[in-house]
Amino acid sequence: MASFNGCGRKAVCIALILCLLSFLLLVQAVYEYKSSKTDEIILEEAKEDAHNQAHFALKTIVEDLDSTRFLAEEISKDLSSGKLKDDFTLRERLLAEMENNSDIFSIGIAYSPAVNAGKLHSLYFKRNGSYVNYSAIQYNYTDNIEKAAWYNNPLKKGSGVWNSPYFGVAAETYLIEYSVPFYLTESGNRDEAAGVVAVSHSLEGIRGAVGGLDLGKTGYGFILSGEGLIISCPFQGYLCGNISELAKEYYDFDLISQNMAVGGYRVTNSRTGQSFWVFHEGIPSTDWTLGIVLPLEETLLEKKTEQKRAVIRIMFAAFAFLFSLFLLFISLYRHDHGGLWILVFIFSFLCILGMGFIWHLALNYSSLDGGNEDFVVFDMAEVETVLQHFSTDSKTSRIPTGVFLETMEFSGSNEIILTGYVWQNFSGLDVDVASPGFSFPESKETTIERAYVNENESVVGWRFKTALRQPFDYSRYPFNREYVWIRFWNNASEGNVLVPDFDSYDSLVPESLPGLEHSFVMEGWEPQKTFFSYRVNSYNTDFGVGDFTHSNVPELYFNIEIKGNFKDPFVSNLLSVIVISILLFAVLTITTRDEKKTLFSFSSSGVLSYCSSLFFVLIVAHASLRTRTAMHGIIYLEYFYFIMYMAILAVSLNSIVFGSNMDIRFINAKDNLYVKLLYWPVILGCLLLITLLNFY
């Protein structure tokens, strides 16, 4: 009795220690979860980093603008002081300034007719490649016309002004111009301007400073003038457009224009389902505004992964604490075999609950990463941001390309057959003779047929059928999510860039499955999201083409995220494993020497025969699983079979030892009770550990 009491006291002490340790572990896990960076903290850090980069960009922009402004004001000062009296001296000065300042596109001097006997007189230098051309201004700049605003605006204001940006046809780039009046001392009237000095500066440097901001994969910056003109943004097609007018067509601009009076704000684009945070601040010495756009989902992506892991840690700590409490209760109040069976049931139930919880996270956790380091895009601003990251020439033609899938079918574990439509917008080309400007480089076999032509929109559509081979990852089968992608190569020899035709879709929310047939059906899979992305691939050959254009450049992808149907594998694989494990436990329960406890007579040969039958059934199911998935490595579901193989072997060995005269106390004690007690905890504990290692 004393011995029993001593063992009981030890059991209580061990249970108390385990309760204390597991409780401390739970407290620590909860504390780490609570003290981890919240969404607000992560966003604030991203904002602070963006602010710092914006300030550096502002410094660069201001230096560029000030150099242009200082040059114009210096020339105006020299003209007003009489230092530049004659045209020869003036031409020499302007030519020298052009040669010394590569960012300056043009310098113009326009005299007022009042100081030149009623006649127009001007000098105009502009850059033409590596040369500088000289000529006079060929139109009446004193007229109140739009292209003469550079002359009239500073005269009306009486001081220097930044004129609205414009596209320089000769320069083939966007320009910004600063003009300032000058006064001639010999005219005797210091109150009336004698003319205007105008200096134009390429926006490429300013766009480069804004485009160089490190704002993640698709974050970008923009600059607006005081009149709302877009001076800089990733998409060149928006440049010099008015944000108020563009807001009628582009929802993002509508959100930005409505909140310009607010320093920082969060908005959600209902068409794409994406949220982003915007802040802006003024650029000194101008009425311009620098804005920053940060995509929230991309910024918080890493946080979501860490949150999932933190929740799993809390779950395990909570389960450990609960089991320790039950262990303490059993140690205090139950000292019979029934108490041990209660502990076995509780531990087994917690293991099953833990696996179910991890499975739930695996089935429902998703992110827009394409399974790789993809650059997910939802509008042309994000597309141009990605292309800018990889120094794609902004003058290269963009070919809008759309896709619509009708059917998708797995013809093998790593081969999928797709049918649908691809269309392209060939603006400025003869659509009647246009050939497909795309190909599928991963295709095993492809057929493409012209389906329709919209001459008014210069759009050609093709119907295609292709068989693609892709490396699907079945390591977590049947709880895996896969990404089926269509990779587009550009067939055009001139190196056009393929971009998504966003305008052709009613909605770009990934969950609404843009580009997929409404009645889309896949056997064993469920489509979850669709989206466009870019991925950079490199090749160690030029394929015999010296100017091969597909290496180390962003390539267009259309992605379909699919989730495995859990029910079919559960019925065909897991259910058989569960039944076999129960039958095996039933076999274990008949290993007894007490004839009163069972209607079946125990014999080692009978158990071995029964285990052999279960092993045969198990090996057939396992082979069927390997055939379906055709994986080179080990998939998650196979561990269930491996554990059952070990269980069958253990039960068989146990029956041999128990039925022999071998004196092994652990097996012979209490009619093989301890082996029976450990059966479910060992199997389910191993499965839980394997599940954790695979999904954590």
Residue-wise pLDDT tens digits, 316-345: 888 888 888 888 888 777 767 778 888 889
CATH entry, 375-565, from 3.30.2350.10, 2.60.40.3080, 1.10.8.60, 2.70.170.10 = 2.70.170.10
SS3 479: coil
pLDDT of residue 605: 74
Is the pLDDT at 246 greater than 90, yes or no? Answer: no
More confident residue, 492 or 574: 574
Is the pLDDT at 170 greater than 60, yes or no? Answer: no
Q: Which long-range contacts link 541-548 to residues 24+ away (Cβ below 8 Å)? A: 547/495
Residue 178 has φ and ψ, to the nearest 5°, of -115, 130
Q: What is the pLDDT of residues 503-551, one digit of tens each?
A: 899 889 888 999 998 887 777 788 889 999 998 877 766 666 555 555 5
Is the pLDDT at 184 greater than 60, yes or no? Answer: yes
Tell me the C-alpha distance between 142 and 642, whole Å.
Answer: 90
SS3 410: strand
Is the pLDDT at 296 greater than 80, yes or no? Answer: no
* CATH hierarchy code of domain 61-200: 3.30.450.20
Is the pLDDT at 95 greater than 50, yes or no? Answer: yes
**Nearest Cα to 480, choosing from 309, 621, 629?**
629
| Spatial contact of 73 and 80, defined as CB atoms under 8 Å apart | no
Q: What is the pLDDT of residues 373-403, one digit of tens each?
A: 788 888 888 888 888 777 777 777 888 999 9
- 39-57+207-300 and 61-200 agree in CATH topology: yes
Instruction: Please report, rounded to a whole number, the percentage of residues in the chain having pLDDT higher than 70.
Output: 84
Residue 499 has φ and ψ, to the nearest 5°, of -130, 150
The domain ranges of the chain are 2-35+302-365+568-695, 39-57+207-300, 61-200, 375-565
CATH entry, 39-57+207-300, from 3.30.450.20, 3.40.50.2300, 2.40.30.10, 2.40.50.140 = 3.30.450.20
Query: Any idea which of 196-210, 283-297, 365-379, 503-517 has the lowest mean pLDDT?
Result: 365-379
DSSP 585-647: HHHHHT--S-GGG-SS---HHHHHHHHHHHHHHHHHHHHHHHHHH--SS--TTHHHHHHHHHH
pLDDT of residue 48: 76
pTM: 0.73
Q: What is the pLDDT of residues 617-652, one digit of tens each?
A: 899 888 888 877 766 778 888 899 999 999 999 888
Q: What is the pLDDT of residues 390-449, one digit of tens each?
A: 777 777 788 899 999 999 988 877 889 999 999 998 876 666 667 788 889 888 889 999
Query: Any idea which of 39-43, 241-245, 353-357, 481-485 has the lowest mean pLDDT?
Result: 39-43
pLDDT of residue 105: 85
Tell me the C-alpha distance between 644 and 626, whole Å.
Answer: 16
pLDDT of residue 114: 83
pLDDT of residue 260: 61
pLDDT of residue 582: 92
Pairing of strands 264-268, 443-454: unpaired
pLDDT of residue 2: 41
Tell me the C-alpha distance between 402 and 571, whole Å.
Answer: 39
Is the pLDDT at 84 greater than 70, yes or no? Answer: yes
